Structure 1
Amino acid sequence: MPSKPSPARRAEILMSGVAMGESPRWHENRLWFSDWGAQEILCIDTNGEREVTVPVPFSLPFCIDWLPDGRLLVVSGREGRLLRRERNGSLVTHADLPGPAGMGWNEIVVDGRGNAYINGGSGIALLTPDGSVRRVADRMAFPNGMAVTPDNLTLIVAESYGKKLTAFDIALDGGLEKRRVWADLGDGVPDGICIDTDGAVWYADVPNKRCVRVREGGEVLETVTVDRGCFACMLGGVEKKTLFIIATEWRGMDKIAEMAQARTGQVLTFEAPSTHAGWP
């Protein structure tokens, strides 16, 4: 069980006016993230300068990561497709995802070998570099954020409804095996996650309005409190020690349009004790 949390620390606002942010990634010296409410993929630098890099023609969820060759992948969750951004900026179908996905396909992470893991509903699909797609995990309690360790040997998944982080060994063919509880989070409800060089995991928590850093087994190392729901987090910045937090005033799935119009989303920053590791 988790230990008693450390004293909470505060984050600073880097950007406001986001409709509904998700899926932050540090790439090419900028933070990229999906604004589900505005149907845009945005970039922001450490000075707060923003750019709309990819407008998308579909609604939430859509999460992002990159192929080893640098091309962007975008999950079109409700349509069950994985799209690829070509060098000319066009979006083309990269793969059709196996269905049904229940609540729609959601998060994606591409590991160091080019394997792409996409989750949704209660399962995880694997897209290998040769183009084959198959389901590699089922019976999960709303899988959300995912991260792969630097050695490409372990996939860690946030099970939001299970209030835990679950780990799998990654087999040579990319399949998942030896499922186990990596950390029981007590009252924690994990959404987006990332890994640091100490082997700890940061997880964002919407209902508890915080980001929490835990080690394997569940010991709480750090807590960052926020005045709105934390949807995702990512380590980046010049030294890869800035924790970027995507936060929004959550009003429920039936109020998505209202939330998008209100634009209460923010990108927050927090100086973390350890640098980014692994994927994404």
Structure 2
Amino acid sequence: MDLLLSGGHFYEGARWHDGHFWVSDLYAGHVLKITPGGHAQVAVELDDQPSGLGWLPDGTLLVVGMKSRSVWKCPAGEPPRLHADITALTGGFTNDMIVDRHGRAYVSNLGFDLFTGAPPATTTLVRVDPDGQSTIVADGLQFPNGLVISPDGNSLIVAETFGGRLSAFTIEDDGSLSGQRCWAQIGREPSWETPHSLLDTDFAPDGCAIDEEGCVWVADALNGRVARVAEGGEIRQQIKAPDGFGLYSCALGGPDGRTLILCTAPDFDDVKRKATREARLYSTKI
């Protein structure tokens, strides 16, 4: 793989849009727009911890603010403005996001404060409509994280990090979700008795991307790898991060649609990541 960009705190929310890769740097408080050749510019500065990214049909960027538990509308050349505050609908920091072709944003949240050792709790998935109205569309999820929509636009797939699985829902015409099902059980489901017990899994699904064949490329937050997973759980390909690095998010794009970028860092310890700039983006052809 090739080094695309270095010097970040912690890269997350990777996406491909309008000829560029995009990532949030959580602890720098900004969103980066990156050419396929690795030239980066700050596209958005947010007085928050940015994470999930998506775009409305008119091209307006939406950014998840983790600490404010909000979604921000970020028109080019203008300051961010609040699109939706979903604090009342979430159990913890908001996290990743996927926006469908109608401009409906589906937003995950952590459910509890993992970093302070709070008791584990399941949580919700929230839909934010183009007018900012917000609704809980799923509940009882085990640390919902990365989100993708199937190539036909009919299914939403969510990575349940501490469930060891990818779960799928049917997207109804009104944006509601139905038919929850296990799309792929790829890791051992931990016990959820204590914060430490959540780590008792062999695959912790994190940020993800989907290819034209409907396979999901999903980062394993505990084992420094990304895997290409088919429905049912077959792992068809794996790519390891460089030694000493974890791998937390990925995006598939590039001019030919076959470049995979990988968000890596030494770990996900928030104190260490805030203090240093060791995160790296890698790219590889698939």
**How does the TM-score come out when normalised to structure 2?**
0.86
Which runs of no fewer than 5 residues in structure 2 stay unpaired?
112-122, 188-201
Matched, 1:257 2:271: yes
Partner of 1:198: 213
Give the letter aligned to residue 146 of structure 1: L
Show CA shifts across 1:221-280 (max 9, x none).
10000131111000011101100111111153xxx23223321111011111xxxxxxxx
Please say which of residues 137-146 and 117-126 is displaced more in the overlay: 117-126
Which runs of no fewer than 5 residues in structure 1 stay unpaired?
1-10, 273-280
Q: Measure, in 1, the Cα distance between the counterparts of 2:126 and 2:87.
A: 7
Matched, 1:236 2:250: no
Matched, 1:94 2:108: no
Superposed CA RMSD:
1.4
Is contact 2:31–2:50 with CA below 8 Å preserved after alignment? no
Matched, 1:28 2:18: yes
> In structure 2, do the counterparts of structure 1 residues 131 and 17 end up closer, same or farther at CA, with 3 Å as the change threshold?
closer
Q: Provide the identity percentage.
A: 36
Partner of 1:212: 227
Show CA shifts across 1:93-114 (max 9, x none).
1122152522211111101122
Matched, 1:77 2:66: yes
Q: Secondary structure at the match of 1:161?
A: helix
Query: Which residues in structure 2 correspond to 1:38-49 (within 5 Å)?
Result: 38-49=28-39
> In structure 2, do the counterparts of structure 1 residues 202 and 150 end up closer, same or farther at CA, with 3 Å as the change threshold?
same
Q: Measure, in 2, the Cα distance between the counterparts of 1:146 and 1:251.
A: 19
Give the letter aligned to residue 138 of structure 1: D
Higher relative contact order (CA 8 A, sep 6+): 1
Give the letter aligned to residue 199 of structure 1: G
Q: Measure, in 2, the Cα distance between the counterparts of 1:266 and 1:66.
A: 24
Q: Measure, in 2, the Cα distance between the counterparts of 1:258 and 1:98.
A: 27
Q: Secondary structure at the match of 1:68?
A: coil
Partner of 1:112: 101
Across the two proteins, how many residue pairs are aligned to each other?
258
Give the letter aligned to residue 249 of structure 1: P
Residue 131 of structure 1, CA deviation: 3.7
Matched, 1:188 2:203: yes
Is contact 1:98–1:135 with CA below 8 Å preserved after alignment? no
Residue 61 of structure 1, CA deviation: 4.9
